[in-house]
Structure 1
Amino acid sequence: MYQQKYDVIVAGGGTAGIAAALSSSRAKAKVLLIEKNSYVGGTAASGLPFIDFFNRDGRQIVAGIAEELMKQLFREKAALKHIRTSGGHLNSVTMIDPEWLKIIAEEMLLESGCDILYHSFVCGAKVENDTLSSITVANKNGLTKFQADCFIDTTGDGDLAKFSGARYHQGRERDGLCQAMSLLFKLGDVDVERTTALFSENPVVACPVGGDHEYNLHISGKLSKWNDIVKKDEIFPHPDHNIWAGTMRQNELTYVNTVRVSEKNGADAYELSEAEIEGRAQLKKVIYFLNKYVPGLEKAHITSIPNGIGVRETRRIDGEYVLTGKDVIEGRKFEDRIARNGYCIDIHDPKGQGWGISRIQSQDQSYDIPYRCIVPVRIDNLLVAGRCISTTSEALASTRIMPSCMALGQAAGIAAALSANKKIAPRKLNVEEIQNILKKSGALI
């Protein structure tokens, strides 16, 4: 089944990797997708909802493969409809069943003809004359070399790009610290209506799968009313701690986002291990607190924890263009655009002291992401997609959401297939040709 040489190899099977592998395979490239876990999905497999397919005016900003995946989940009753929101920092929420997403995304990839190699990760790269020619993959078989005409780094952390010698930056510019991490978890035996009624900062109302009426499906708020308890029990180091959660089925919170681990480097194996340990220790305290003090969660228990803490920021590859916070806020448009985004700048303080947002100020409340952001300087036969693209730390706080990552992955997959077919470096491609294919594929650019 597996070959040693492919047209395109995609490293990382998260949301960006799924879209990259699908679009490249559909463009008639022979594709290998390499994933460290036993499933595809990445952050989406944690239960985190897809946010901001739409801008604040209700206009859809992202479609293409991301929307195709949602529609398949809708058909199989594995996701709720897109739900417009108001009053908070989100423009829309799309609740998903993470286990079904793993299944559906895998089916789509296999139907396209893509090969998938699980339990494997890139650990080395061969670069000659600034051109990436092969990678080394580690798994139970040992070390294996794979060749390709073009590679796509969708590892999130820019691992392949780093091994290839690509230049990169990490964390915020003044001190290198990255945004805080979050360990998500799912809870069962939840009285969802009682719990969600306590938090109304950003109400999301719909009927869950299997439900018989609509009610508030989302928690977006603070634990301020329990500040004394949080301080006494040393659950969190700061008052007014945030909590986000949501459900798509009765009697469960499909995801809860409140555990926060700060001042750790998610691209360092040692610090990442420390973050995982700290996150679970914090989680234990959180569960005891929720059971004892939060109405509707008295009987709640953990039904799953994702395979890895959620990392918001690590390496950002130096590309031919660096997207800035100013570009995001001003809603800048680019001739070589390959994706759009309408999400705010959402920064989780690297020292764990809360979070803050900055909204897009342009009339259409969206901005373009140019092709140059996914093309590393100097290294050829390599593209990047997802949260490791070329941005400032501030801009990353907007581009890192899953619909945006999928839009970038779809564009990278098309570009990689063209590069492999034409036998030219990705940086030399005609961007207009990529844009035309994206439009025909249902992408919104």
Structure 2
Amino acid sequence: MKTQKWLAAWLLIGFSLFSCAGRSGKSISGNSENELKADIIVYGGTSSAVAAAVQATRLGKSVIVVSPDKHLGGLAAGGLGFTDTGKKEVIGGIAREFYQRIYRHYQQPEAWAWQKKEEYGNKGQGTPAMDGADRTMWIFEPHAAEAVFEDFVKENKIPVYRDEWLDRENGLVKQNGKITSIKTLSGKTYQGKIFIDATYEGDLMATAGVSYHVGREANSVYGEQYNGIQTGVLHHDHYFKKNIDPYKIPGNPASGLLPLISPDSPGEKGQGDNKVQAYNFRMCLSNHPDNRVPFPKPDNYDPAQYELLVRVFDSGWRELFQKFDPIPNRKTDTNNHGPVSTDYIGMNYDYPEASYERRREIIKAHENYQKGLLYFMATDPRIPADLQKELNTWGLAKDEFKDNGNWPHQIYVREARRMISDYVMTENETMGKKPVNNPVGMGSYSLDSHNIQRYVKPDGYVQNEGDIGVHLKEPYQIGYGAIVPKKQECQNLLVPVCLSSSHIAYGSIRMEPVFMILGQSATTAAAQAIDKKQAVQDVDYTVLKARLMQDKQVLAKPGSNF
């Protein structure tokens, strides 16, 4: 009997390991179903994580994706379909392949369920949505993006373990400056030669004891202009253009402030703080009568939360629909726009380092606020009638995020932790004032930060602070040193998302195409470090560059001598 039980257990383990091997480009080993081993362990479910894992299989390395998320692709599949492209010519490698696959998807007649292809306006951010010459498409529906990421995983037989959360207290083993294994809250242990933190939060990086920063650095730290507190700097249109009274009883400070206005001083211009730019959800809305769901009344709905918005409308503001950016099939990627909108300003400061439980509370609060905002505008009689009538032609897209009440499964973590390495990308590198060594990718989007706080000015009126939009003259390179920690802190970790960057430089770098680019480059370096049995800080850049170029990464402005 004991022999039979032992044989059954052995067969079960063998079948489990065979299944993992069958999903990977190279066999996955381990001592049991809860102890898994691969050359490269990618922690995260973002677009960067998928790109990193795909590159591992193409380089002949075994890889495991350990994803806290159930859905792959992060924001790229979570509602951000109106891609922050920047200069498309510097998007190469697997990132460009992603957009080529999106293009092929929308060449199929069945992809156009709610709209004729010829009726789609083809509007993109600085580029046509569909680029026939390059066979790329930059604008897409969430489900289409997620399908591409899932295809990448299936085709490359990548094992993905979902809903797996790093044990941030006791789940990392480190020996002689290297991570040997990580453990998740489910009890699974993952051993690897190289680890890649591809999360928006940088939890693996922080647990490994790597230096990082949260918040804005003072301008004096890196010799920047747009990093620290930016009182009086009014870019974009996300500020109060007219004087709006902040008090519950207008003109009466004793009555107290309206909700979501800080009573604190914003701080001195140019100084640093520990605050991060606002988060929101990038909603996918539809105005097709057969594919829209009325805006739901959220939990704990409180119309008083939106009194400030009423005063904005009363001042004559009418730009409500300006960021209902069109994506295929009569849908939108709807983003924050205006002084009071979907950004939940000031309510996320503790998110980067919060416990999982606290993060869930913050995410739920953001969801309730944003759903409440929509419900308020759709139902409250104080909303201008013409705007309210048009808004009620919209609703949540019925065929998106179907397992989450048609609500995006990923909150827009615009910024959390940022690594501090020996090399830090700053405003000066992005603006071409300082050269970049050993580039592994390029960025090109404007320096872009959303608002960070809402306060009362000395004149007694309300204002937002922290929104920055600075145009860059040309694309810039991102140095390899920015995605590796200090060598004395960890020798086998790469960080392509929460990379070493100042707050304002990250405002440009933090775009989904760039995250995919850096994920691929990180894995390429990881494979080289494995082959040479060396620290990631010691890879030979000449060899790394050659492979990146072979894989069609763009490392310099087209036409330059590099």
TM-score bracket relative to the smaller structure: 0.7 to 0.9
User: Relative to structure 2, which stretch is displaced further, 351-360 or 159-168?
Assistant: 351-360
Partner of 2:92: 63
Partner of 1:260: 343
Partner of 1:423: 533
Partner of 2:26: none
What's the CA shift for 1:327? 1.4
Partner of 2:62: 30
The reply to whether residue 137 of structure 1 matches residue 184 of structure 2 is: yes
Partner of 1:312: 414
User: Match for 2:173 among 119, 122, 126?
Assistant: 126
The reply to whether residue 405 of structure 1 matches residue 515 of structure 2 is: yes
SS of residue paired to 2:50: helix
Question: What's the TM-score once normalised by structure 1's chain length?
Answer: 0.81
Residue identity in the other structure for 2:479: P
Alignment partners' CA distance in 2, 1:325 and 1:242: 32
SS of residue paired to 2:41: strand
Length, aligned pairs only: 393
Alignment partners' CA distance in 2, 1:175 and 1:271: 21
Partner of 2:471: 359
Q: Check whether the contact 2:166–2:204 (CA below 8 A) recurs between aligned residues.
A: yes
Give the percent of matched residue pairs that are identical in Structure 1 and Structure 2: 25
What's the CA shift for 1:232? 4.7
Distance of aligned partners of 1:299 and 1:50 in 2 relative to their CA distance in 1, 3 Å threshold: closer
Distance of aligned partners of 1:327 and 1:254 in 2 relative to their CA distance in 1, 3 Å threshold: closer
The reply to whether residue 85 of structure 1 matches residue 126 of structure 2 is: yes
SS of residue paired to 1:126: strand
> Structure 1, residues 163-218: CA drift from partner, whole Å, max 9, x if none?
11111111112111111111222222359xxxxxxxxxxxxxxxxxxxxxxxxxxx
Alignment partners' CA distance in 1, 2:531 and 2:499: 24
User: Relative to structure 2, which stretch is displaced further, 32-41 or 331-340?
Assistant: 331-340
User: Match for 1:321 among 413, 423, 438?
Assistant: 423
SS of residue paired to 1:376: coil
Q: Check whether the contact 1:329–1:358 (CA below 8 A) recurs between aligned residues.
A: no
Residue identity in the other structure for 2:534: I
User: Match for 1:20 among 43, 47, 52?
Assistant: 52
The reply to whether residue 183 of structure 1 matches residue 227 of structure 2 is: no
SS of residue paired to 1:275: helix
The reply to whether residue 433 of structure 1 matches residue 433 of structure 2 is: no
Q: Check whether the contact 2:282–2:333 (CA below 8 A) recurs between aligned residues.
A: no
> Structure 1, residues 32-88: CA drift from partner, whole Å, max 9, x if none?
011112221101111213535443xxx6111211110111111111699784628xx
The reply to whether residue 347 of structure 1 matches residue 449 of structure 2 is: yes
User: Match for 2:436 among 322, 334, 354?
Assistant: 334
Structure holding more strand per residue? 1
Q: How does 1:3-402 map to 2 (within 5 A)?
A: 3=29, 4-49=36-81, 51-55=83-87, 60-77=89-106, 83=124, 85=126, 94-123=138-167, 124-138=171-185, 142-173=186-217, 174-189=272-287, 230-232=309-311, 244-257=323-336, 258-263=341-346, 264=348, 265-267=350-352, 268-269=354-355, 271-291=358-378, 293-294=387-388, 296-303=390-397, 304-330=406-432, 332-352=434-454, 353=464, 355-361=467-473, 365-377=474-486, 378-386=489-497, 388-402=498-512
Q: Check whether the contact 1:19–1:66 (CA below 8 A) recurs between aligned residues.
A: yes
Q: CA RMSD in A?
A: 2.9
> Structure 1, residues 384-403: CA drift from partner, whole Å, max 9, x if none?
112x0000111111110111
Contiguous gaps of at least 5 residues in structure 2: 1-18, 21-28, 30-35, 113-119, 128-135, 218-271, 290-305, 380-386, 398-405, 455-463, 556-562
Alignment partners' CA distance in 2, 1:241 and 1:346: 21
Alignment partners' CA distance in 1, 2:313 and 2:199: 34
Distance of aligned partners of 1:113 and 1:308 in 2 relative to their CA distance in 1, 3 Å threshold: closer
Q: Check whether the contact 2:212–2:417 (CA below 8 A) recurs between aligned residues.
A: yes
What's the CA shift for 1:22? 0.9
User: Relative to structure 2, which stretch is displaced further, 243-252 or 96-105?
Assistant: 243-252
> Structure 1, residues 99-119: CA drift from partner, whole Å, max 9, x if none?
122122122123223211111
Residue identity in the other structure for 2:475: S
Q: Check whether the contact 1:49–1:93 (CA below 8 A) recurs between aligned residues.
A: no
Alignment partners' CA distance in 2, 1:158 and 1:152: 10
Alignment partners' CA distance in 1, 2:84 and 2:393: 32
Alignment partners' CA distance in 2, 1:243 and 1:82: 14
Alignment partners' CA distance in 2, 1:398 and 1:357: 9
Question: What's the TM-score once normalised by structure 2's chain length?
Answer: 0.65
Q: Check whether the contact 2:216–2:276 (CA below 8 A) recurs between aligned residues.
A: yes
Distance of aligned partners of 1:230 and 1:262 in 2 relative to their CA distance in 1, 3 Å threshold: closer
Residue identity in the other structure for 1:161: M
Residue identity in the other structure for 2:324: A
Residue identity in the other structure for 1:27: L
Bigger-Rg structure (1/2): 2
> Structure 1, residues 381-424: CA drift from partner, whole Å, max 9, x if none?
111112x0000111111110111111111100111122222221
